[in-house]
C-alpha cells in the first residue's frame, strides 16, 4: 500500500481533505506467522512408586485404556495412548519432610539478631542531657546476705 501516492493524486484532482490510512490489514498479514501454538491436551496418570510392587502398573493401565476405549468409542479422541502419559510419583518420607521444615525454622531463629538494648528512653532523644546514655544497668550486692539484684 502506498498512501503518499494516493494522497498526491487526490490533491491534483482538487480534494483538499487529508486522509489517514489504517494499516490494519497489512499488520494482520505480517503477524500471521506468529500465531500462538496450541497446547496438547495431555492427561497424566501418576501412581505412587513402591519398590515392593513388581507389577508394571503403567503398562497395564495403558493396555486397559486401549482395550476399553477402541477407535469406535466416542471418548477415544480424549482417552488414547497419545493423550495419556504415565509417570510414577515419588514423595519423600513424611518424617524427613517435617525434619527439613523444622531445620529451616531453627536456622532462621538462630540467625535473628538479638534486639539492641535501649540506652535512652527520653521523649526527645536529640535533646538528651546524657547524650543518649541515660539508662544503664547496675548490680547491687547486699553485704549481709550477699544477695545480688540487677537494676535498670
Show pLDDT as tens, one digit a residue, over the chain (152 residues).
567 788 888 888 888 877 776 766 655 555 666 677 778 789 999 988 888 889 999 999 999 999 999 999 999 888 888 899 999 888 778 888 899 999 999 988 887 776 677 788 888 888 888 888 788 778 888 888 888 888 76
Say if 65 falls within a structural domain: yes
Note whether residue 59 is domain-resident. Answer: yes
pLDDT (0 to 100) of residue 64 = 93
Grid cell of 7 as nine digits: 494522497
Determine, yes or no, domain membership for 16. Answer: no
Contacting residues for 89 by C-beta, under 8 A, at least 6 apart: 46, 47, 48, 49
Predicted confidence at residue 26, as pLDDT, reads 56
Place of cell 496450541: 38
pLDDT tens track for 13-55: 888 877 776 766 655 555 666 677 778 789 999 988 888 889 9
Whether residue 53 is contained in a domain is answered as yes
Residue 29 lies in a domain: no
Neighbours of 103 (CB within 10 A): 10
What is the full DSSP assignment across the chain?
--HHHHHHHHHHHT---------HHHHHHHGGGGPPPPPP--EEE-PBP-TT--S-HHHHHHHHHHHHS-TTSTTTTTSSTTTEEE--B----HHHHHHHHHHHHHHHHHHSPPPPPPS---SSGGG-TTTT-----EEEE-TTT--EEEE-
Q: Which of 86, 108, 140 is the last residue of a domain?
A: 86
pTM: 0.40
Which range marks the domain in which residue 143 is found?
Answer: 118-152
Domain count, the chain: 2
Residue 29: its pLDDT value, please?
Answer: 55
Within a domain: residue 7? no
Question: Is residue 20 included in any domain, yes or no?
Answer: no
Amino acid at each position: 500500500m502506498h498512501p503518499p501516492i494516493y494522497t498526491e493524486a487526490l490533491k491534483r484532482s482538487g480534494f483538499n481533505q487529508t486522509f489517514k490510512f489504517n494499516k490494519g490489514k497489512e499488520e494482520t498479514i505480517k503477524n500471521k506467522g506468529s500465531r500462538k501454538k496450541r497446547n496438547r491436551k495431555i492427561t497424566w496418570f501418576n501412581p505412587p512408586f513402591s519398590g515392593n510392587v513388581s507389577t508394571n502398573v503403567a503398562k497395564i493401565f495403558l493396555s486397559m485404556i486401549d482395550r476399553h476405549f477402541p477407535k469406535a468409542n466416542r471418548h477415544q479422541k480424549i482417552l488414547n495412548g497419545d493423550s495419556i502419559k504415565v509417570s510414577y510419583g515419588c514423595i519423600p518420607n513424611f518424617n524427613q519432610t517435617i525434619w527439613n521444615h523444622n531445620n529451616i525454622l531453627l536456622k532462621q531463629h538462630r540467625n535473628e539478631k538479638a534486639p539492641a538494648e535501649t540506652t535512652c528512653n527520653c521523649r526527645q532523644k536529640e535533646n538528651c542531657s546524657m547524650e543518649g546514655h541515660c539508662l544503664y544497668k547496675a548490680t547491687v550486692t547486699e553485704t549481709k546476705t550477699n544477695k545480688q539484684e540487677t537494676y535498670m
